A and B are shown apart, each in its own frame.
Chain A
Amino acid sequence: MSLHDHDLRDTAGSPVGFDHSLDYVTVTVGEQLLGLPIARVHDVFITNRITVVPRAPSEIVGLLNLRGRIVTAICLRKRLGRPPMPGSADDKAEMVAVGVDHGGEAYALIVDAVGEVMRLDRSTLEPPPVHLDRAWAMLAAGVHRLSDRLLVVLDVDAILKLDMPAAA
């Protein structure tokens, strides 16, 4: 994806959500710092009560109750092709979740940890590097150069499209 493409998407009001705001909720999965466009994030919450759905796709951890709404929990780790967190098999383990909406339905992305909210300058945004794994490239909307590390901006809609292959 070229930078030019990117500009086009921004002006066309892309669903990526960072056209009006470059504020991100940062989360980590493993060592990787990831950013979710703040406009897409409804909630950040901790949950320990998940109903496992037998026969569900493997990325779906289960269902949880968020203030009377039934939310489908998706493991971001698994979605990004990482191995599951050690010890997460325990039912009672507390999980950090980021609530997002997609097509009128509520989803929760289970992450390792939630960081701060970052306001970043648009000039530091670059398209994902070309040699990035294809599956990752499909889920990433861009990369921000921070002083000490890189922040990968996730495309929430792509993440929730489970029929797209998970990163290997």
Chain B
Amino acid sequence: MTRIRFQQSLDELKEKLLVMAGLAEQQIQRAIESYRVRDLTICDLVDRSEQAINRMEREIDQAALDILAMEQPMAIDLRFILAVIKINSDVERVGDAAKSISDRVRVMEHLASIELPVDIPRMATLASNMVRRALQAFIEADAELARAVLSMDDAVDGINRAAHSALSALMAAESQHAPQALTALMVCRSLERVADHATNIAEDVIFWVQGADVRHQGSLNQN
């Protein structure tokens, strides 16, 4: 084995990204919990983590840039750096989505609590599982696990579409509940984005491990 320092810097980069990803995963779970129990102290925790995640995003990009400039990585190492840069961005956006949910919880605080025709806890569990599995695939360099994450996205999209129809119908039928329905719609939208980011992370893991670009396969095949 040669280039020991280079290998160490790759390991350090991966570790940094995993610390940040751990924070983002925790943040999305806290945001969901704050929605479930309507607890603004949890929202405060989400806000604080958001700043830490933003700071780490910049540090990781800088470390990746340094490696590109100093070490000129090739092949699997080059793919790894590209994957890290893209996963870094997706993880930060998972953090943004958590913040967005927590912002909605603050709005909900002022609204009457009503029963909504949407299974947000289930959607949250699915999206959160996708993030966890995508990160597990990254930790273990497991392309098969990453492919399994891709197949989970349809379920989240399905719930989001159903929620959109049901909440639109509710707004039309009971306009006094439109603010609650709109808030729930925005939470659904954030969770759907979390699932999309998990999908992106999984695609980047496949690119890193196998060198295969599996993005947009359905739409590109149609054209």
Q: Do A and B bind each other?
A: no
Residues of B near any A CB (own CB < 8 A) = none
Residues of A near any B CB (own CB < 8 A) = none
